[in-house]
Amino acid sequence: MIPYVRELEFEYGRADPVSPLIRRVIARNPGPFTYLGTGTYIVGHGEVAVIDPGPDMADHLAAILAATAGERVTHILITHHHLDHSPLARPLAAATGATIHGCASPAATARGEIRLEAGHAAFTPDVSACDGATIEGAGWTLEAIPTPGHTSNHICYGLAQENALFSGDHIMGWSTTVIAPPDGDMGDYLASLELIRARNFATLWPTHGPPITDPAPFIEAYIEHRRERERQILARVAAGDGRIEAMVPAIYAAVDPRLRAAAAHSVLAQMIELVRSGRVRCEGTPGLESDYRLAG
Tens of pLDDT along 74-86?
999 999 999 999 9
More confident residue, 116 or 152: 152
**Model confidence at 27: pLDDT above 70:** yes
Whether the domain at 16-213 and the domain at 226-294 fall into the same CATH topology: no
Q: What angle do CA 226, 219, 159 make, to 5 degrees?
A: 135
In this prediction, residue 119 has a pLDDT band, given cuts at 50, 70 and 90, of low
pLDDT at 114 over 70: no
Decide if pLDDT at 115 tops 80. Answer: no
Contact 279, 295 (CB under 8 A): yes
Residues 6+ apart with CB under 8 A from 121: 81, 82, 83, 86, 87, 105, 110
Please compute the mean of the pLDDT values over residues 138-162 and round it to a whole number: 98
pLDDT for the residue numbered 110: 43
What is the per-residue pLDDT for 62?
Answer: 98
**Is the C-alpha dihedral spanning 254, 260, 262, 264 positive or negative?**
positive
Where is average pLDDT lowest: 6-20, 25-39, 112-126, 183-197? 112-126
Smallest Cα–Cα separation from 116: which of 174, 169, 173? 169
* From the candidate CATH numbers 3.30.230.70, 3.30.70.2860, 3.60.15.10, 3.40.50.300, the one assigned to the domain spanning 16-213: 3.60.15.10
The mean pLDDT of 135-157, rounded to a whole number, is 98
More confident residue, 61 or 259: 61
What's the rounded Cα separation, in Å, for the pair 188 and 130? 15
Please list the residues that pair with 76 across neighbouring strands.
Answer: 50, 100
Write the class of the CATH domain 226-294.
mainly alpha
**Per-residue model confidence (pLDDT) at position 120:** 67
pLDDT at 262 (0 to 100): 86
Nearest to 141 by CA among 162, 126, 125, 156: 162
* Average pLDDT across the chain, whole number: 94
For residue 131, give the H/E element and its range.
Answer: none
Residue 107 has pLDDT above 80, yes or no: no
Segments making up each domain of the chain, as ranges: 16-213, 226-294
The C-alpha angle with vertex 170 and arms to 231 and 166, in degrees rounded to 5, equals 150
- What b/e readout covers 19-34, taking b as 16+ CB neighbours within 10 angstroms? bebbbbbbbebeeebb
The span from the CA of 263 to the CA of 124, in Å, is 29
Helix (H) or strand (E) holding 216: helix 215-238
Res 26 pLDDT > 80: yes
